[in-house]
Structure 1
Amino acid sequence: MELSENQISYKIIGVALEIHRTYGVGLLEKAYEDILAYELKELGLDVKAQLSLPLKHKDLVIENAYRLDLLVNEKVIIEVKAVSELHPIVDAQVLTYLKLTKLKLGIIINFHSKLLKDGIKRKVNKL
């Protein structure tokens, strides 16, 4: 059975909350990203990490034009952060990634939030 974006999102957020309960605030972004990828794979999800993608502009192809932190089941983009405050540019960045990939759902997870629920943002593109 193929999972919907919302079903995948539910699993991602559950795993992120568990990671945050276990480790709290203070690890490097890469540590959170690697643990999140590992745990999602353990749930049977397909996870690609640090996926570099090309950009086509007319006849020009720019290899490695942007990079997704995590792509889950070819449907959901995850942007992992470990910062004291999210800059609004991150929202715009994820929306751009969604438009370029023609995907519908992106999730920003800032593990340096005291309460992780305050550090999770869903971004949608025609979902």
Structure 2
Amino acid sequence: MPEQQSPFAQEGYDFMAAAFEVHNVLGGGLLEEIYQESLEIELELRGIMFRRKQELEIHYKQRKLKKRYVPDLCVFEKVVVELKATSEIGSEHEAQLINYMRISRSSVGYLVNFGPIKKLEYKRFILSEFL
């Protein structure tokens, strides 16, 4: 039986290589907006498709709400990315990403924290219900 590769595995490696490059160049501890803009430049340089700050519509009982969710990035059309620049990733950050993934019906998401000085912190999430 052939080994099944994780969804968007190569795309995830390519995205994380860009994130590691940004952290290697800038280090940790800067503002999230600095990392967002720098990562967008790095993704462009690598030819990686992305959309920034795309609003996600939310519905309640078939009615569109005025409030929208806005994840930081969507790469490769279906991978949701939430960026942070905090001392550590917390459960509230994980819940935020999972909510974005559910609303956008994305199976893969990355939570990337540029805050730590010495290393990039990240978590990959997979929602099997959208595979």
CA distance in 1, matches of 2:70, 2:50: 14
Whether the 8 Å CA contact 2:30–2:85 is kept in 1: the answer is: yes
Amino acid at match of 1:7: Q
Query: What's 1:87 paired with?
Result: 90
What is the Cα deviation at residue 64 of structure 1? 4.4
TM-score by length of structure 2 reads 0.86
Query: What's 1:121 paired with?
Result: 123
Query: What's 1:43 paired with?
Result: 46
Q: What SS does the corresponding residue of 1:120 show, helix, strand or coil?
A: strand
User: Cα RMSD over matched residues?
Assistant: 1.4
Task: In structure 1, list runs of 5 or more residues that go unmatched.
Answer: none
Whether the 8 Å CA contact 1:12–1:40 is kept in 2: the answer is: yes
What is the Cα deviation at residue 9 of structure 1? 0.8
Determine what percentage of the aligned residue pairs are the same residue.
33
1:97 pairs with 2:105:
no
Over 3 Å off, 4+ runs: none
Whether the 8 Å CA contact 2:109–2:125 is kept in 1: the answer is: yes
Structure whose CA Rg is larger: 2
1:11 pairs with 2:14:
yes
CA distance in 2, matches of 1:64, 1:14: 33
